[in-house]
Amino acid sequence: MTDIKSDVFLKFDDVKKSYDQKTLVVKGFNIDVQQGEFITLLGPSGSGKTTVLMMLAGFESVTSGVIAIEGKSINKTAPYLRNIGMVFQNYALFPHMTVAQNLAYPLTVRNMSKADIKARVAEYLALVELEDFGSRFPAQLSGGQRQRVALARAMIFEPTLILMDEPLGALDKNLREQMQYEITRLHKKLGFTVIYVTHDQAEALSMSSRIAVFNDGIVQQCAAPAELYERPSNAFVADFIGENNFIKGQVERISDGLAHVTVPGGATVIAQTSDGLVVGASCQVSVRPEKLFIHPTTHAHDNEMTARFISRIYVGDFIRYYFRLPDGTDIVIKMLNDLSAPEFSDGQDGKLLWLTSDCIAFPAAT
Amino acid sequence: MTDTATLAQKPLAPGLNRDDARSAAREVRKRRLQAFLFVTPLLIFILFSFVAPITTMLYRSVYNPTVADLLPDTLVALQEWEQSDESPSDAVLTQFAIDLKRLANDRTSGRLADEINRALPGMSSVVKSTARAVRRVDDAELAANGPALLIDANDRWAEPETWRAIKDAGRAYSLDYYLTSLDLERGSAGEIQARDTQIYVKLYTKTLWMALIITVATVLLGYPLAYFMANTSTSLSNALMVFVLLPFWTSLLVRTTAWIALLQTNGVVNSTLQAFGLRDDPLELLYTQFSTIIAMTHILLPFMVLPLYSVMRGIDSSYMRAAMSMGSRPLAAWFRIYLPMSLPGLSAGALLVFIISVGYYITPALVGGTDGQMISNIIAFHMQQSNNWELAAALGALLLLLILVLYWLFDRFVGAANIKLG
């Protein structure tokens, strides 16, 4: 693996993992990571993302393929020689050591002098804003504080790569948002590379430079958050990232990168195409709930179809409308809670409107 | 009542009136009483079956009124006698002769003989023969000629040592049994000196030493097993747990006898060794310290594995991984991270095994021979064979004290808070 471009910091080359010699948990994982990137591995549980992280950390062996850092394979390197920082879901703070001792641990292992260790520990305690907590034990800290200590401990020996295994999973919503900001701040400030595992898409979207969406041991799409949300490359990603409506239909023709699709009720809508779409085959058109509008509207639109109103749920800042298509598919529409939010009576028909650029036609799931 | 009294004086929070406070206090009292009722049956049981017998036993180690009850008048007379090199006055001897005659006719002189013999070996026959001699002498003759009759019957009655022994044995309260337990005795001037035969201190040391070896052996065998069980799949660890608990399902006696079958001269081990030509003459395995240690290690192993396992199961694998990701080698990570985290289980197991083995009786009795005897065997001997319950009680009390001291040391250096059974 000496022929890797110099700007690729971390490379996974067709990495596979099998635990039971029968099935693959990770089926050929490829990714090139630049120095300083924040890569998130996102996927439902059991999709293989944690296994990838454990192989990178060295706690699981690689069945086949190569993991390389700066062009050198680390497949055979012992975990303690990899110099990779790691934040665990349960933080794994050593309960019998104080916060300062926890932070000092990787430094004592590296035989740093006592004075240097003390200075470095103070520096990193300040970095995570826990200056006065050095003499406390982990059990005496709150969840958010423990998270900060775990973060500081993973960074203190200045690894170039830090792995985070669902580090915010145990925190409540407010704290989680605060820590997302904290992690992003530290990442920007110190410039280390992060491989972050989560099943929380909001977390992934708000923090990452790129997200690799995992399903069934395969990366479905690896792209920047906005692209992932706006241009999902397949139905799984479209469904998994954010909320989506899928309208079943038949592809009539494809021209200029646009698919003309006949939808239930007989109307024809025009949608962006995706890979694997075939004329005459059935497909599903995905439209995000917030991109759909109900007639009458001032928003631009070029697709429309009729559906029956079912219910309307008041959420607060927005209102969710539920409509049902003639084939029984439920459609969700999210509308801002303003004066234009219409009222419907049960069973009334409504006209749904949206833009061609906001919908994608995917091949129907087999 | 005190609760309500203090409540009445305490300033109350706004909105809480006296009646509210009183009813809250009543609620607390009711709950306390309920909690107490739950443990009452056990408390009563323990009081009658454990605390009371142990207390009487310990009391016995310092209180022995037999001689005082048998020879009250002689002992009163002996009070004036200074423990010097001279025999006591004739008045004392006369009184003793009268007492001895009464005892001989009551058929209680044998008990006196036993008691005095304990203080001064060899006195049993002296007392018994003298008792026979004075039994038929009439009272007037005894009153007039008692001392001479005694000395005629046996000249040891002229020795001051004999009377010292009687005076010692006559004290209802004495710490002499504790001195004996420590291989000490009182000299002629009442000073404390080492006894000629050193038995008990050596036995205590040996008992502690063997318990220590057994504890270390169970740690060496149990720690890796518990570690493996805690870190393997649940089904496998459950299966292994059955094997760990298997010894509890068979009688202790059966397990010990199994070791006899294994280790005896023509037992499994020796015949195997001989069959393979590894040895010509059989090894002396049974009735040694070795056999006691190996059998007790086997029997006490579950007490080490169980607390270790339950503590280790609570240690997530991420701690070791975290240590290694920070650059610590596995062995160093184990020593700095895993060992301290598993210490509560380790200390609980070690303390359990050590304390149980210090007081262990049946296995050393069966496979120990003379070499593998422990302190509890000698206690049993004094209870059953030599009928010296006072000494047995003193030895037992010292054993208890020893364990308490060890526990105190443990608490000092490891911390009792570091004990966790599950």
Sign of CA dihedral A226, A230, A232, A235: positive
Partner residue facing B322 (CB), from A83, A86, A157: A86
The per-residue pLDDT of chain A, averaged, comes to 88
Q: What is the pLDDT of residue B12?
A: 67
* Closest chain A C-alpha to B329 CA, distance in angstroms: 6
SS3 at position A338: coil
pLDDT for B248-261, tens place per residue?
888 888 888 888 88
d(CA B301, CA A318) in angstroms, rounded, equals 65
Q: Does B272 touch chain A (CB under 8 A)?
A: no
Least CA distance to B418: which residue of chain A? Answer: A96
The half-sphere exposure of A290 on its side-chain side, counting CA atoms within 13 A, is 8
- Are A334 and A318 in contact by the 8 Å Cβ rule? The answer is yes
**In this complex, is the C-beta atom of B29 within 8 Å of any C-beta atom belonging to chain A?**
no
Other CB atoms within a 10 A radius of the CB of residue A27 amount to 16
Q: Say if CB A197 and CB A43 are below 8 A apart.
A: no
A95 burial level (CB within 10 Å; 0-12, 13-18, 19+): middle
- Tell me the torsion sign for CA atoms A336, A339, A340, A344: positive
Q: Is the pLDDT of residue B372 over 60?
A: yes
Give me the residues of B, 339-358, that contact A with CB < 8 A.
Answer: 340-341
Q: Which residue of A has its CA nearest to B327?
A: A80
Residues 6+ apart with CB under 8 A from A310: A322, A323, A324, A330, A346
Residues of chain A in contact with residue B336, where contact means CB-CB under 8 angstroms, are 105
A344 touches chain B (CB under 8 A): no
Which amino acid would we find at residue A140? Q
Put simply, whether A89 touches B (Cβ < 8 Å) is yes
Who among B323, B325, B336 is closest to A84 (CB)?
B325
Are B219 and B308 contacting, i.e. CB atoms less than 8 angstroms apart? no
The token pair at B95 is: 């009184």
Give the number of C-alpha atoms closer than 13 A to the C-alpha of residue B107, restricted to the C-beta side.
0
Average pLDDT of span B8-25: 77
CB within 8 Å: B327 and A153: no
Give, in order, the Cα–Cα distances in Å from B420 to each of A78, B16, B313.
34, 42, 12
Instruction: Give the residue among A262, A288, A289, A285 at the shortest CA–CA distance from A274.
Output: A285
Per domain, the residue ranges of chain B are 2-60, 66-174, 200-418
Dihedral sign from CA coordinates of B214, B215, B218, B224: negative
Asked if residue A208 lies in contact with residue A39, where contact means CB atoms within 8 angstroms, the answer is: yes
Q: What secondary structure does DSSP assign to A276-335, as a single string?
A: T--TTSEEEEEE-GGG-EESS-SS--SEEEEEEEEEEEE-SSEEEEEEE-TTS-EEEEEE
A59 touches B at CB < 8 Å:
yes
Residue B84: what pLDDT? Answer: 67
**Single-letter code of the amino acid located at B98:** I
Q: What top-level class would CATH report for the domain B200-418? A: mainly alpha
**Which residues in chain B are closer than 8 Å to A83, comparing Cβ atoms?**
327
Task: State whether residue B391 sits within 8 Å of chain A by CB.
Answer: no
Cβ distance of A83 and B327 shorter than 8 Å: yes
Is B205's Cβ below 8 Å from some Cβ in A? no
Nearest Cα of chain B lies from the Cα of A244 at a distance, in angstroms, of 37
DSSP element (H, E) containing B259: helix B252-263
* Three-class secondary structure of residue A242 per DSSP: coil
Tell me the three-class secondary structure of A34-95, residue by residue: ECCCEEEEECCCCCCHHHHHHHHHCCCCCCEEEEEECCEECCCCCHHHCCEEEECCCCCCCC
Query: Region B275-284: what's the mean pLDDT?
Result: 82
pTM of the model: 0.78
For residue A93, how many C-alpha atoms fall within 13 Å in the half-sphere facing its CB? 29
Q: Does A80 touch chain B (CB under 8 A)?
A: yes
| The pLDDT value given to residue B2 | 46
Tokens (6 digits) for A10: 């971390």
Which residues in chain B have Cβ-Cβ distances shorter than 8 Å to A85? 325-326
Contact B318 A57 (CB under 8 A): no
φ, ψ of residue B251 to 5 degrees: the values are -65, 145
| Closest approach of A9 to chain B, Cα-based (Å) | 19
Mean pLDDT over B263-291 rounds to 84
User: Which residues of B fall within a CB distance of 8 Å from A80?
Assistant: 324-330, 333
Of B316, B318, B325, the CB nearest to A79: B325
Higher pLDDT, B188 or B298: B298
* pLDDT of residue B208 exceeding 60: yes
Local structure of A33: helix, strand or coil = strand
pLDDT over threshold 60, residue B31: yes
pLDDT at B337 over 90: yes
CB contact under 8 A, B322 and A96: no
- Nearest residue on chain A to B337, judged by CA atoms? A94
Banded pLDDT at B1 (limits 50, 70, 90): very low
Which residues from A are below 8 Å from B330, CB to CB? 80
Give the nearest chain B residue to A57 (CA atoms). Answer: B325
- The CA distance from B100 to B109, in Å, is 7
- Residue B175 burial (10 A CB sphere; 0-12, 13-18, 19+): middle
Mutation target for B interface from A20, A86, A166: give the one with most B CBs within 10 A: A86
Structure tokens at B53: 């017998």
Cis bond leading into A296, ω under 30°?
Answer: yes
Q: Which residues of A touch B341 (CB under 8 A)?
A: 94-96
By Cβ distance, the residue of B325, B336, B341 closest to A57 is B325
Could you report the per-residue pLDDT of B387-415, keeping only the tens digit for each?
888 889 999 999 989 889 988 888 887 77
Low-confidence ranges of chain A (pLDDT < 70): 1-6, 366
- Determine the residue type at A257: G
User: Tens of pLDDT along B125-170?
Assistant: 888 888 888 888 888 887 887 788 888 888 888 888 888 888 888 8
Backbone phi and psi for residue B109, each to the nearest 5 degrees, phi listed first:
-65, -25
Among chain A residues, CA nearest to B321:
A59
- Chain B interface includes A82 (CB < 8 A): yes
Best of A19, A83, A87, A88 to disrupt the B interface by mutation (most B CBs within 10 Å)? Answer: A88
Amino acid identity at B337:
I
DSSP E strand stretches across B57-147: none
User: In the prediction, which pLDDT does A107 show?
Assistant: 94
Under a CB-based contact definition with an 8 Å cutoff, are residues B148 and B130 in contact?
A: no
- Chain A residues inside the 8 Å CB shell of B318: 88-90, 92
Distance CA(A296)–CA(A312), nearest Å, equals: 17
Q: Is A134 on the interface with B (CB under 8 A)?
A: no
Distance from CA of A99 to the nearest CA of B (A): 14
A19 touches chain B (CB under 8 A): no
- Look-up: residue for tokens 């994982």? A29
Instruction: Name the residue of chain A whose CA is nearest to B317's CA.
Output: A92
- Judge whether residue B9 has pLDDT over 60: no
Q: State how far residue B236 is from chain A, nearest Cα, in angstroms.
A: 17
Interchain contact B316–A (C-beta under 8 A): yes
Distance CA B319, CA A250 (A): 54
pLDDT 10s digits, A224-239: 999 999 888 888 898 8
ipTM of the complex model: 0.82
Helix pair B234-249, B200-231: axis angle to 10 deg: 150
**Quick check: A105 and B326 CB within 8 A?**
yes
| Window from B22-31, B82-91, B166-175, B232-241 with minimum mean pLDDT | B82-91
pLDDT one-digit tens code per residue, B80-138: 777 667 778 888 888 888 888 888 888 888 888 888 888 788 888 888 888 888 888 88
| Per-residue b or e along B232-265, where b marks 16 or more CB atoms closer than 10 Å to that residue's CB | eeeeebeebeeebeeeeeeeeeebbeebeebbbe
CB-CB under 8 Å, A59 with B323: no
C-alpha span between B69 and B196 (Å, rounded) = 30
Select from A57, A59, A80 the Cβ nearest to the Cβ of B328. A80
